[in-house]
Chain A
């Protein structure tokens, strides 16, 4: 078959302007999955079924009629060169020219290698690009023909990827490293490529909608094995050259080309229906490819025919292969048809044994590959293992599912558990015990170290050597091995750990079942899936509010939101820095813009963050309207213009953002003054205020926040109404006396005057007790410590009265499920809030709670570089409590913004966004509160449908508090309706 295919390939090529078919083999793995086996040898020279991988690759290419092969090698290049020199293909008359290309040590990725190919100008026409670990019998020449045919009509078809049809799960398809292809079934053009990782599990595939329009019918395929055989046109290396950030051929190059709006290049797939192609890209695929070869899926490349190293094997029933030269010494093995003696060594199916290997008595070898010149001792059991040449295994050893390098000596009574990799030349035992996934390599002698000194890649070997002073006793007395760490590196960052966990899916013998929360519908994905359902049936979900805290999905898809949360944090810090160090507005603006670019968040978020920061910057001056006004004017005067320098000017939105921020902030009463100051500084003008005023959202209409927030919003709106009235008056030159809006409370006059009223009124309310309590402790410097105190204070209060009991109950329930993700502080923050809003009959306790809360607020304001303490600016008593509640929880939750912001952004309908977002950067808690409030109306409307809910709702003023906790989760979580209903009853 091989000669025939190459000849047909040649004919084709001669027709096509007599081009030589070139191939490029990237003979470096660019990763370390096989270490320590690859410590002294490149991966492409590791033997699989007793022939180096590179030879299998050459054989595969020879089948395709390739005439010129460039082997790009990086590590251990001299060995690769030597191997090429000695391979049968370099002998005269092989018809193939193999050129080793030594690339620089700085080549760290396939992309770098491609750039190197470009700069060397190696390829002159369409070429086949494969990796140096390919085992294939696919007719690549056919792929090349199809590719060239396509190129005749479409010059933009730059690449054809060979993919193999299989199933969703296949042993040669690595779960940690597979991909989804979206193809046009007509042209087999690849329209979209998405890599899939097993950890963190890819839950959703994202198919861009823009490709639907141009292609009436698409195929979304998850059943393709990427063989990493690419037929590339000459442009491909140059594209790598142009895009220096392309590293991986699939993830970066293919994805980049397909998503680029500028390149207008096409990539096609060749879906191989039959034939075999697989890469040995990790230890798991090493095993599966070995088994595939032994079970002859790679025919005609099988051990007994076309063995790449030229060995010859006898094929016996059950896919057993023995070296043909009859040098295999099997202890009384029943090889001949006429048994002379009862055999005592058992050779199982799918086993291959190299020449001159000696198997002793009572040995059991099952589904394994044994190299040449090995000696296996008596009574040893070897299962699913791969033993390279020249290795000696003592007697009574057990080797399970491991790869043992060449020249290894495993002494008697040793046990090698699954997944072990033992590097060349290691000596272990006797009685060594290897843990699963253990990795051993030979300690290098000084000469060797000197010889390799220039090889920087060995630095981590040195580290490992340095970290091990003595050989672990489990390895046996005379061992020369060093043990490689099995876990992720200690200093690993989150990414590395994820990568490590993902690699585990590719590790030999590791089923990673602890990580495998299989993507089709286990608990985690279901909770997520139900959140989707929730969005479909909002009202359903909301009716089961106080409930489903039983299972908090710990691994929500937070990643996407992390950026936003981080962004808020960054903005806050950046502005704090700017405020503290007195940066110029322009500099601060530049910093914000950079942040925005880096986090890729919409402008609105920036505006919210900036407005919030500026508002919080304003210090609350008690009982001194003039001083307060001055303070506002100075802050707005200094920083106000920053709002318009963040990359876009939208004064209407500015006002909305200000409003929603104030509605959830303690600076509610400053809204009018701030707005006036903004007006004075021309940051907003009259028309903007009018337009804002006319927006339905500004009035609190359609904002599904809790009553208090809506009320606050309305207050702000009324203040705006007053300003507009003033404008009108100015315009008409009338000097009409100022009238209070009938709806408005009497302490709500026009902005300029209001502070006097408010300030005068507040101090006698309950806040002053609290402020006296804790005030003295507070200084701007230890805001953090005080925070802790506030929490403990809150905790104390949370038992006495009935509402508090409820809360503690709820707390305990919640703690079980939630503590992990949120922490206790958060819970207590919640409860504080609950206490504050408890019904009037428990006023005493509430007072106490409020007091403690207020102290927390003080601290929070301190945290915002504010020295003033009382909640003096809020006008109405009841309001004050709420604000206190919010303020107190606000500060505590700061550490956990991610979850809450997530909730808020996912569940709050767009109409309410401003209000929620305004509070975003302040605290997560406030948001979630807002969110829960939104749901309350729905909830109360639903109460007939859910009788069990009624007690809670009946509690009236408590509605915010008790329901609150559950609602949040219910909203996110989803309609575990039936169960959660039950829960809710308990919870209440």
Chain B
């Protein structure tokens, strides 16, 4: 019976943006003009071209969004359906354009999938079956309610139940601190000096009706996280997974394990750079170099191995003289002696033959039964959590 927050498990906001920013905006908007939800979009982190093999990317085609900067209102999300309907042009309703005459459009923002929602959203969701994804289907649809009158009429009963909290719209209207989104910055408007000049003002019928709905705009707020606001990422692609690991590593300093037992597993002659994390019970043999990497627990790393910029999940076995560069190794991956992997992703349980040299590939286990753990959630995690 309460408003709720819907959020993903893979969103990493910068410290400068606590959730309270969204919550505060949500509370203000709900009270002032009947907003129904608040979303958060952040500047897309674009890895430099060619840094990762193409197959690491899923269809991460950014879709354009349109929002109103002044009032912080999300207005339109271009869906693949829209694209299919008209691949050449983005179609925008004039209704939207006349309500928000100055809109921003950008392809460069990604949905954080953090939504602060009114309880009534669930009621509408109940009405709208056939919605598969909140983000792909429901949200774009929800945005249309704010400017399409018929839809508004139809869903108003769900969105604005009678027991609505008293709107503070009137009070806020007289406030000098809030920016009223409907009364746009228009010095000209004040030129209507006398009532007789009705022709010169905006046509009254439309105006009147709008002001009726004015207290309940059913709008969806947006908090836009600009690139300069700090590093924001959703770990839903392999490059992002690697990227966030890199960023975290840059802030840690490696110290040898305090547990003597674990410590004994790490050879004195192994070179481990400070921006590395090594899990417990992992064995690192002599003259092995590890830089900028995350090594899981219970791994066995042979002699003379070289591991740079890698993520090794638990129970990996790296045999002597293997070279790994920018790889993500699933659980139980076994890399044979003197094998060379560069920018590879391996499925859990994959075995790289000794001496093999692979670059930029996704290595799958042909036999699916081979050692795939139940909680195998490394690279697949990104895709699976998308629909919440």
- A residues sitting closer than 8 Å to B (CB atoms) are 165-172, 180, 182, 185, 196, 201-210, 212-213, 216-223, 274, 284, 287-288, 291-292, 295, 297, 319, 349-350, 366-367, 383-384, 401, 509, 511, 513, 516, 518-523, 525-527, 529-530, 532-533, 535-537, 539-540, 976, 978
Query: With the chains together, A164 CA to B58 CA distance in Å?
Result: 44
Query: Which residues of chain B have C-beta atoms less than 8 A from A166's C-beta?
Result: 186, 188
List CB contacts (< 8 Å) of B226-271 with chain A. Answer: none
Q: Given A274-B187, A529-B144, A521–B150 Cβ distance below 8 Å?
A: yes
- Which of the candidate stretches B167-175, B190-198, B326-334 sits at the interface with the other chain? B190-198
Task: Flag if A220 contacts B105 (CB, 8 Å).
Answer: yes
Query: Which residues of chain B have C-beta atoms less than 8 A from A513's C-beta?
Result: 203, 205
Minimum C-beta distance from A213 to chain B (A): 7
Residue from A204, A367, A521, A532 within 8 A of B197 (CB atoms): A367
Chain B, Cβ-Cβ closest to A977: B154
Q: Mark B93-133, 1 if CB is under 8 A from A, else 0.
A: 11101110111111110000000000000000000111000
Chain A, Cβ-Cβ closest to B141: A536
Nearest first, the 4 closest Cβ-Cβ pairs linking A and B are A521-B149, A526-B150, A223-B101, A520-B95
Query: Which residues of chain B have C-beta atoms less than 8 A from A284's C-beta?
Result: 199
Q: Given A220-B66, A220-B97, A533-B144, A213–B107 Cβ distance below 8 Å?
A: yes
Minimum C-beta distance from A792 to chain B (A): 40
Query: Which residues of chain A have C-beta atoms less than 8 A from B205's C-beta?
Result: 513, 518
Residue from A167, A185, A202, A521 within 8 A of B147 (CB atoms): A521
Chain B, Cβ-Cβ closest to A288: B200
Task: Flag if B95 contacts A216 (CB, 8 Å).
Answer: no
Query: Which residues of chain B have C-beta atoms less than 8 A from A169's C-beta?
Result: 98, 202-203
Query: Which residues of chain B have C-beta atoms less than 8 A from A170's C-beta?
Result: 186, 188-189, 202
Q: Given A205-B97, A212-B107, A526-B149, A297–B91 Cβ distance below 8 Å?
A: no
Query: With the chains together, A291 CA to B198 CA distance in Å?
Result: 12
Task: Flag if A511 contacts B199 (CB, 8 Å).
Answer: yes
Residue from A168, A217, A292, A537 within 8 A of B191 (CB atoms): A292
Query: With the chains together, A226 CA to B201 CA distance in Å?
Result: 19
Query: With the chains together, A523 CA to B149 CA distance in Å?
Result: 8
Query: With the chains together, A287 CA to B130 CA distance in Å?
Result: 53
Task: Flag if B129 contacts A540 (CB, 8 Å).
Answer: yes
A-B contact pairs, 5 of them (CB 8 A): A170-B189, A204-B91, A217-B105, A217-B106, A222-B101
- Interface residue tally for chain B (C-beta within 8 Å): 58
Q: Mark B130-148, 1 if CB is under 8 A from A, else 0.
A: 1000000100010010011
Task: Flag if B108 contacts A217 (CB, 8 Å).
Answer: yes
Query: With the chains together, A972 CA to B239 CA distance in Å?
Result: 44
Task: Flag if B93 contacts A525 (CB, 8 Å).
Answer: yes
Minimum C-beta distance from A747 to chain B (A): 42
Query: With the chains together, A762 CA to B103 CA distance in Å?
Result: 66
Task: Flag if A297 contacts B99 (CB, 8 Å).
Answer: no
Chain A, Cβ-Cβ closest to B201: A171
Query: Which residues of chain A have C-beta atoms less than 8 A from B85's C-beta?
Result: 535
Task: Flag if A520 contacts B188 (CB, 8 Å).
Answer: no
Q: Given A212-B64, A513-B205, A527–B89 Cβ distance below 8 Å?
A: no
Most A CB atoms within 10 A — which of B86, B101, B148, B210?
Answer: B101
Chain B, Cβ-Cβ closest to A523: B150
Q: Given A203-B94, A383-B196, A520-B147, A216–B152 Cβ distance below 8 Å?
A: no
Task: Flag if B105 contacts A520 (CB, 8 Å).
Answer: no
Query: With the chains together, A760 CA to B169 CA distance in Å?
Result: 80
Query: With the chains together, A14 CA to B206 CA distance in Å?
Result: 52
Knowing that A167-B188, A221-B103 are A-B contacts, what are 4 other residue pairs whose CB atoms are under 8 Å apart, sorted by A's residue number?
A172-B188, A222-B94, A222-B101, A536-B81
Q: Mark B153-185, 1 if CB is under 8 A from A, else 0.
A: 010000000000000000000000000000011
B92 at the interface (CB under 8 A from A): yes
Minimum C-beta distance from A402 to chain B (A): 13
Minimum C-beta distance from B197 to chain A (A): 6
Query: Which residues of chain B have C-beta atoms less than 8 A from A292's C-beta?
Result: 191
Chain A, Cβ-Cβ closest to B184: A167
Query: With the chains together, A384 CA to B193 CA distance in Å?
Result: 13
B87 at the interface (CB under 8 A from A): yes
Chain A, Cβ-Cβ closest to B95: A520
Query: With the chains together, A847 CA to B206 CA distance in Å?
Result: 56
Query: With the chains together, A708 CA to B95 CA distance in Å?
Result: 42
Task: Flag if A367 contacts B103 (CB, 8 Å).
Answer: no
Chain B, Cβ-Cβ closest to A192: B89
Query: With the chains together, A406 CA to B66 CA distance in Å?
Result: 51
Query: With the chains together, A201 CA to B64 CA distance in Å?
Result: 26
Residue from B129, B188, B197 within 8 A of A297 (CB atoms): B188
Task: Flag if B98 contacts A212 (CB, 8 Å).
Answer: no
B88 at the interface (CB under 8 A from A): yes
Minimum C-beta distance from B151 to chain A (A): 7
Task: Flag if B150 contacts A222 (CB, 8 Å).
Answer: no
Minimum C-beta distance from B228 to chain A (A): 13
B353 at the interface (CB under 8 A from A): no
B90 at the interface (CB under 8 A from A): yes
Minimum C-beta distance from B147 to chain A (A): 6
Residue from B90, B103, B105, B197 within 8 A of A291 (CB atoms): B197
Task: Flag if A367 contacts B87 (CB, 8 Å).
Answer: no
Query: With the chains together, A208 CA to B92 CA distance in Å?
Result: 11
Q: Given A167-B189, A533-B141, A521–B89 Cβ distance below 8 Å?
A: no
Query: Which residues of chain B have C-beta atoms less than 8 A from A518's C-beta?
Result: 203, 205-206
Q: Given A169-B98, A216-B107, A529–B151 Cβ distance below 8 Å?
A: yes
Task: Flag if A521 contacts B130 (CB, 8 Å).
Answer: no
Minimum C-beta distance from A88 to chain B (A): 29
Query: Which residues of chain A have C-beta atoms less than 8 A from B154's C-beta?
Result: 976, 978
Query: Which residues of chain B have C-beta atoms less than 8 A from A319's C-beta?
Result: 193
Task: Flag if A207 contacts B199 (CB, 8 Å).
Answer: no
Minimum C-beta distance from B275 to chain A (A): 32
Task: Flag if A207 contacts B200 (CB, 8 Å).
Answer: no
Minimum C-beta distance from A226 to chain B (A): 14
Task: Flag if B95 contacts A367 (CB, 8 Å).
Answer: no
Query: With the chains together, A540 CA to B87 CA distance in Å?
Result: 25
Query: Which residues of chain B have C-beta atoms less than 8 A from A217's C-beta?
Result: 104-106, 108
Query: Which residues of chain A have C-beta atoms less than 8 A from B189's C-beta?
Result: 167, 170
Query: Which residues of chain A have C-beta atoms less than 8 A from B188's C-beta?
Result: 166-167, 170-172, 297
Chain A, Cβ-Cβ closest to B79: A536
Query: With the chains together, A166 CA to B106 CA distance in Å?
Result: 23
Query: With the chains together, A447 CA to B187 CA distance in Å?
Result: 52
Query: With the chains together, A519 CA to B203 CA distance in Å?
Result: 13
Task: Flag if B98 contacts A519 (CB, 8 Å).
Answer: yes
Query: Which residues of chain B have C-beta atoms less than 8 A from A223's C-beta?
Result: 101-102, 184, 186
Query: With the chains together, A535 CA to B86 CA distance in Å?
Result: 13
Query: With the chains together, A202 CA to B94 CA distance in Å?
Result: 7
Task: Flag if A208 contacts B89 (CB, 8 Å).
Answer: yes
Residue from B101, B130, B150 within 8 A of A221 (CB atoms): B101
Query: Which residues of chain A have C-beta atoms less than 8 A from B128's C-beta?
Result: 537, 540
Q: Given A205-B94, A526-B148, A520–B206 Cβ distance below 8 Å?
A: yes
Q: Given A220-B66, A535-B81, A295–B191 Cβ distance below 8 Å?
A: yes
Minimum C-beta distance from A605 to chain B (A): 18
Q: Given A212-B64, A223-B102, A384–B97 Cβ distance below 8 Å?
A: no
Chain B, Cβ-Cβ closest to A530: B150
Q: Mark B50-93, 1 if CB is under 8 A from A, else 0.
A: 00000000000000101000000000000001010111111111
Query: Which residues of chain A have C-beta atoms less than 8 A from B129's C-beta?
Result: 540
Query: Which residues of chain B have C-beta atoms less than 8 A from A165's C-beta?
Result: 185
Task: Flag if B103 contacts A220 (CB, 8 Å).
Answer: yes
Query: With the chains together, A169 CA to B148 CA distance in Å?
Result: 18
Task: Flag if A216 contacts B199 (CB, 8 Å).
Answer: no
Task: Flag if A522 contacts B149 (CB, 8 Å).
Answer: yes
Query: With the chains together, A350 CA to B154 CA distance in Å?
Result: 45
Minimum C-beta distance from B90 to chain A (A): 4
Task: Flag if B106 contacts A529 (CB, 8 Å).
Answer: no
Residue from A204, A521, A530 within 8 A of B92 (CB atoms): A204
Task: Flag if B108 contacts A521 (CB, 8 Å).
Answer: no
Query: With the chains together, A217 CA to B64 CA distance in Å?
Result: 9
Query: With the chains together, A287 CA to B198 CA distance in Å?
Result: 12
